[in-house]
Amino acid sequence: MTSPTCIALPKIRFERGFLAGRAQLVRDVVIPFQWEALNDRVPGAERSGTVNNFQIAAGEKEGKFHGYWFQDSDLAKWIEAASFGLATHPDAALDAELDGIIATIGKAQQPDGYLDTYIQLKEPHMKWANLFEYHELYIAGHFIEAGVAHFEATGKRTLLAIVCKLADMIERTFGLGAEQIPGYCGHEEVELALVKLARATGEKRYAQLAAYFINQRGVAPLYYEAELKRLKFEKLPVYFHADGWDYLQGSRPVRDLVDPVGHSVRMMYLATAMADLALALPDESLRKSCETLWDNLTRYHLYITGGIGSEWMGEKFAERYDLPNDRAYAESCAGIGLVFWARRMLDLSLRGAYADVMERALYNNVLAGMALDGKTFFYVNPLEMRPAEAKRRYDQHYIKTQRVPWFGCACCPPNIARTLTSLGYHTHSVLPDGLAVHLYADCRLEATMGGKKTNFALHTDYPWDGAVKLEVSPAQPVTFTLRLRLPGWCTAPTAKLNGTAVDFAAKVCDGYLYLAREWRAGDVVTLDFPMTIQRIRAHPAVHHDAGCVALQRGPMVFCVEQADNGAQLGQLRLPKNAPLTARFEAGFLGGALVIEGPGQRVQAPSDELYSTTEPTVTPATIKAVPYCLWNNRGEGEMRVWIRES
């Protein structure tokens, strides 16, 4: 499981509603589609080569390795997503497909446990020799996660045995012993995976191995410096740019990090592992470091959509407040990493602020990465799009003006799939004395409260409507505490218990409503989170957003698109006193809420590039749609931040 407080996936069912629809899309469409992509059977998509590489390494066919040195991880993430799908919705055909590819992986694994088709097929002399650049431990981490997910979903130990053999090999290879390598991976991932493996197997040594990787990282003398000399590199790769070893969080011990630095996905996986170990060991110094990093990330480096990592060169964090919109990187994988980290932080301290960010990233940045048909994807998630410029400018060459079926570097699509098939890990926590609800989605779940089986049914049309009804049905009367998140965006939440209003005065702590009592079958809690249209303004230091507002309703951030508002969206103005209305359109973008209101369009007084003449202003109707649904009607301009007049 993601954390020890997670509900086992078979115990929670999402059967209707917004998130349930996305999860079903992944099961029914995305997982089969991505399997075809991994097998190079999607016409018009970039070649993956991933399954083919394993078949070659297994001796099942002849050929040459295709792709990047991290290509194997795409398959691992797909296996994890498919396993999560099996956990909630058994599928004999998918189960058999997994058995087949796992058998191939087993044959590809070397006798000592090593597994990396790039090294095995292309550069066998480089085994563990280029840790800062190659992704051997990163790939191992993703396969370990897949092995744990497959075991927990099916009870089969086939893949679990493979990854335990791999982890044992890593344990023998890395450490401070005389015959060991005192290194660590350039792309963090194995650390959080080893904590999962320790939890699944009961082998604490795997968590200790994760702690070694965390504690050794950035310790002087730097392992990477010695490796660089041994490889005879004259300088670091160009994507390190001005960061040096900070690019991979390796210039100093992790407890000395204050701001998130370097490659954003690596930073998130590192922070997730730090939070895991802070809880598992426990380690108070790691907890404090996580809190410092979290506070500075959310204060200085977070897009309103929950995206992170604003610099394209190296896919990394930039300076504080440097959050450009049309050049935003905001990689889908980074947003997913933020969701993972936020969920772990909730285990360290039940603070609504962590769940607020988890919700913001999930509903906006992560969901924007996948089209409504489940067959095309974004890797990069800008907050402003002008297609002609994006296609022409080199500093936007990485931005796709429309989602595509697959990528040569396809880390994001299967990452989105595994996130949406494991929603139950993120929505709730089972605590020693009760249940915490972090994200509101229509679902049914079963958990043990005070030693007694207890069923919960949560009914809601969230995120379109803030009304929530929670039915509690214990097998017998039982005392426990129900903790219900009060979303940070809501200014006037209310609650009732069996029809009686709840006084929040003594029952709210750090953004959660605490209801401690003896619960009986038939008890009902109703919550109301009024969803008003909010105009959000950025800190003045974010100069990219000066004079602009973003529209938000509930957890959803909205944007304007060319399809509704015409071209040249930068010419739109939203008057400060303009009344805005929200309405739900059942047949629009799969059923979505839109925001409309009177605006203005600024037009040039002449063809002159510069003029002393005031521009003309004409009335215009502004229509905004949820950011996560943009670009589902063809190529066109898009803008989150609207100029205010």
For domain 432-528, the question of CATH label 3.60.70 is answered with no
CA distances from 255 to 261, 271, 288, 510 (A): 13, 10, 8, 25
Domain ranges of the chain: 9-427, 432-528, 534-644
Average of per-residue pLDDT values in the chain? 96
How far, in Å, CA of 560 to CA of 245, rounded? 39
Give me 153's structure tokens. Answer: 């979903």
CB-CB contact of 56 with 62 (8 Å): yes
How far, in Å, CA of 538 to CA of 113, rounded? 51
CB atoms within 10 A of CB 122: 15
Strand duo 434-437 + 478-485: pairing = parallel
Q: pLDDT at position 242, please?
A: 86
Bridge partners of residue 558, in order along the sequence? 626
How far, in Å, CA of 533 to CA of 548, rounded? 16
How far, in Å, CA of 623 to CA of 580, rounded? 10
Task: Tokens 């398959």: give the residue.
Answer: 75
CB atoms within 10 A of CB 578: 15
Q: pLDDT at position 398, please?
A: 86
Q: Which of 309, 297, 444, 420 is nearest to 363 (CA)?
A: 420
Exactly one of 185, 333, 411, 490 is catalytic; which is it? Answer: 411
Q: Residue 170 gets which letter from DSSP?
A: H
Q: pLDDT at position 338, please?
A: 98
CB-CB contact of 196 with 140 (8 Å): no
453-495 tens-digit pLDDT: 999 999 999 999 999 999 999 999 999 999 999 999 999 999 9
Q: pLDDT at position 234, please?
A: 85
Exactly one of 133, 227, 315, 637 is catalytic; which is it? Answer: 315
Bridge partners of residue 449, in order along the sequence? 452
Q: Which parts of the chain have pLDDT scores under 50?
A: none
262-321 tens-digit pLDDT: 999 999 999 999 999 999 999 999 999 999 999 999 999 999 999 999 999 989 999 999
Catalytic residue status for 315: yes
Backbone conformation region of residue 195, classed left if phi is above 0, alpha if psi is from -120 to 50, else beta: alpha
How far, in Å, CA of 549 to CA of 543, rounded? 12
Burial of 461 (0-12, 13-18, 19+ CB in 10 A): middle
Burial of 406 (0-12, 13-18, 19+ CB in 10 A): buried
Q: Which of 476, 446, 475 is nearest to 458 (CA)?
A: 446
Catalytic residue status for 171: no
Our CA angle for 359, 364, 368, nearest 5°, is 140
Q: pLDDT at position 342, please?
A: 98
Ranges of beta strands (E only) in 185-344 are none
Q: pLDDT at position 380, please?
A: 95
Q: pLDDT at position 318, please?
A: 96
Bridge partners of residue 514, in order along the sequence? 483
CA dihedral for 286, 289, 291, 294, sign (positive or negative): negative
Tell me if 9-427 shares its fold with 432-528.
no
Q: Residue 503 gets which letter from DSSP?
A: P
How far, in Å, CA of 507 to CA of 628, rounded? 34
CA dihedral for 209, 213, 216, 222, sign (positive or negative): positive
Fold of 9-427: Glycosyltransferase (1.50.10)
Q: Dump the DSSP string for 382-423.
A: -SEE-HHHHHH-GGGTT--SS-BS--SS--HHHHHHHHHTTT
Q: pLDDT at position 156, please?
A: 98
How far, in Å, CA of 222 to CA of 220, rounded? 5
CB-CB contact of 567 with 638 (8 Å): no
Q: pLDDT at position 341, please?
A: 98
Q: Dump the DSSP string for 67-129.
A: S-TTTHHHHHHHHHHHHHHHHHS--HHHHHHHHHHHHHHHHHS-TTS---HHHHHT-GGGTTT
CB-CB contact of 477 with 519 (8 Å): yes
